[in-house]
Amino acid sequence: MAINITLNHIQLVKESTKRYDLPRLIKNPKDASEVGKAVFNLDNEAQEVVVLLSLNIHHRLVGVHEICRGSATKAIVHPREVFKTAFLHNAAAIILLHNHPSGNLSASQEDKMITDVIRESGNILDVPLLDHIIISEEGYLSFKEQGML
């Protein structure tokens, strides 16, 4: 019996380019949060937005991507979407960012749970999660700095 097999090619497509006065080398959570604020306006969004920073082996920024957009209080994040994007950027490491429109910088139970899932997935896939940062108009909270990662 003969079957049809489709051959596919997967590629990353550049949507646009804009120049930002930001560090290319992400040395700390402040650098990462500045990318989230400048590129995605995370400190002023009215709904939760989850963003991925893809880094090379030297922690230089190689890609940024909005993973999902949710409601005023919740966004659904799945490891499949996070790592699909990371792989397309040939990332050696990732940083996850999301905002809290309420201004509250406390990590919710859901925030902690998804961080654990992404961290474990990254360890298995050899693309470590370096940090998960919550951003609001009040500033930022780094899971790494708080000892939660």
Report the number of distinct structural domains present in the chain. 1
For residue range 58-109, what is the model confidence (pLDDT) as tens digits?
Answer: 999 999 999 999 887 788 899 999 999 999 999 999 999 999 999 999 999 9
Distance (Å, whole) CA 120 – CA 22: 30
Q: What is the pLDDT of residue 75?
A: 87
Does any domain span residue 86? yes
Compute φ and ψ for 64, nearest 5 degrees: -130, 145
Q: At what angle do helices 109-125 and 79-88 cross, to 10 degrees?
A: 40
3-state secondary structure of 97: strand
Determine the structural domain holding residue 93 and report its residue range.
29-142
Does any domain span residue 3? no
For the entire predicted model, the pTM comes to 0.90
